[in-house]
Amino acid sequence: MPLFLGGEQNHVKLNVIENQMKQEKIAVIGSGNWGSVSAKLVAENALSCPYYHDEVRMWVYEEILPSGEKLTDVINNTHENVKYLPNINLGLNVVADPELHNAVKDATMLIFVTPHQFVEGICKRLQGNVRHDAKAISLIKGMEVKKDGPCMISSLITEILGIECCVLMGANIANEIALEKFSEATIGYRDDKKAAEKWGELFSKSYFHVNIVNDVEGVELCGTLKNIVAIAAGLVDGLQMGNNTKAAIMRIGLREMRVFSKLIFPSVRDSTFFESCGVADVITTCLGGRNRKVAEAFARHDGQRSFDELEAELLQGQKLQGVSTAAEIFEVLKARKWEEQFPLFTTVHKIATGILPVNAVVKYSEHAPRMVVEAAAQYY
Ligand SMILES: NC(=O)c1ccc[n+]([C@@H]2O[C@H](COP(=O)([O-])OP(=O)(O)OC[C@H]3O[C@@H](n4cnc5c(N)ncnc54)[C@H](O)[C@@H]3O)[C@@H](O)[C@H]2O)c1
Ligand SMILES: O=P(O)(O)OC[C@H](O)CO
């Protein structure tokens, strides 16, 4: 809000001073369900903090709505993302921008929040077009697998853009946060603690509590791997196996998440799995997430309708991350001959691709505790 002490000249002068104080400019890259909620959240805080520009630019992958209008025009006219977050006011200071380079122009704080399969292409388009002193954070749950092994999305952003990248993950079903229901989240950082604290300040609200940990890989792997567990939980829901089976899947899944993470990055901390990004995200995603929902439908159709088809029908443009993540993790497991040590991850991938029947999720999970304990033995 402009400072105003009276008199037209003073008003102009104070506006100039105020704009000089506003050193930080925020851009949100992504505008899906979580992308829109995170833009709303940081835009509220930007308004109340003197060193942020009021305006938050949100890059929108442009599309034409059934009404014939452009999604960006509708967002800017109504302040609502009618496709990905209907009935929620994003705030007057969220500006939708279909031009990627324009959206990040002069931005000092870059928030990456697209489905993981699009981020590499986006970063390549941004190469040489972001400020060298910009800070980044990734809210993206997913990973890439390269020739030499797994590559976390935060590392991809750092490698392509040459800027350090924190991560924010947690038990964060976007629609609930949009309604300002209480949630927690975890920020992970590698070296730049100050940047992590700044991100913590920008995201914190009375209804959104953020904890900061020095374990970027642990936090990001939790957010990534829980989506495979959510697919398994949806399958047992579709098979109507009941709560005990689902709890068993969640426990086995959490164990595989921990063992896999520590095999890939020995620095990953056990304590991270007790943060919001760990056990809490496994619980919320297995109870109410989109991966769970589509996997339940897949099981009810006994695997006769594909995940792609069900995703399009049930999510209307929103994207699942669990099926592609299971395929990416399976590539790593196969290359390292670890399939047997990760029966849940392996089985989810084989069911999703039609190699195993849906009920294999229960059959193979029966063997899981022994195998995962064997794989985990080196950590006891
Ligand atoms: N929705 C949630 O509750 C939630 C919560 C926490 C984390 N996340 C994570 O946030 C990330 C983003 O998810 P979301 O929920 O904001 O998105 P979404 O699944 O709701 O929407 C999909 C988005 O992808 C865009 N898109 C489609 N094709 C594209 C292309 N070719 N290039 C670029 N963009 C394209 C669409 O325009 C849309 O904005 C994911 O990694 C997800 O796991 C989601
Ligand atoms: O709806 P999902 O399955 O993508 O999960 C959403 C969030 O990641 C839950 O924290």
Q: Give the pLDDT score at 5.
A: 46
Residue 369 has pLDDT above 80, yes or no: no
State in Å: Cα 372 to ligand 1 middle.
32
Centre of ligand 2 to C-alpha 169, Å, is 10
Q: What are the sequence ranges of the domains in the chain?
A: 8-214, 223-379
Q: What percent of the chain has pLDDT over 90?
A: 87
Q: Per CATH, which fold does 223-379 belong to?
A: N-(1-d-carboxylethyl)-l-norvaline Dehydrogenase; domain 2 (1.10.1040)
- Residue 87: pLDDT band with limits 50, 70, 90: very high
Give the pLDDT band of residue 2 (cuts 50, 70, 90). Answer: very low
Ligand 2 neighbourhood includes 281 CB (under 6 angstroms): yes
pLDDT at 1 > cutoff 60: no
In angstroms, what CA-CA distances link 105 with 99, 128, 139, 228, 368?
10, 11, 20, 36, 49
State the pLDDT at residue 380: 39
- CA of residue 345 to ligand 2 center, whole Å: 17
Q: Which ligand is nearest to the CA of 230?
A: 2
Q: What's the Cα-to-Cα distance from 297 to each of 20, 315, 354, rounded to whole Å?
A: 53, 12, 15
Distance CA 153, CA 343 (A): 25
Provide the annotated active-site residues: 226
> Cβ(173) to ligand 1 under 6 A?
yes
Atom of ligand 1 nearest to the CA of 30: 39
- Rounded to whole angstroms, the Cα distance separating 356 from 352 reads 8
Which tens digits make up the pLDDT trace of 220-233?
Answer: 999 999 999 999 99
pLDDT higher than threshold 70 for residue 3? no
Tell me how far apart the alpha carbons of residues 299 and 311 are, in angstroms, rounded to a whole number. Answer: 13
223-379 matches 8-214 in CATH topology:
no
Closest CA to 167 of 277, 270, 266, 256: 277
Q: Whose CA is nearest to atom 4 of ligand 1?
A: 34
pLDDT class for 366, splitting at 50, 70, 90?
low
CATH number assigned to the domain with residue range 8-214, chosen from the 4 options 1.10.10.10, 3.40.140.10, 3.40.50.620, 3.40.50.720 = 3.40.50.720
Task: Judge residue 100's burial from the number of C-beta atoms within 10 Å of its C-beta, 0-12 exposed, 13-18 middle, 19 or more buried.
Answer: middle
pLDDT at res. 364: 75
Nearest atom in ligand 1 to the alpha carbon of residue 116 is 41
Instruction: Give the range among 1-10, 26-35, 80-89, 285-294 with minimum mean pLDDT.
Output: 1-10
ipTM: 0.99
> What angle, rounded to 10 degrees, do the helices at 322-335 and 343-352 form?
120
Mutate to test the pocket of ligand 1, among 59, 114, 157 (most ligand atoms within 8 A of CB): 114
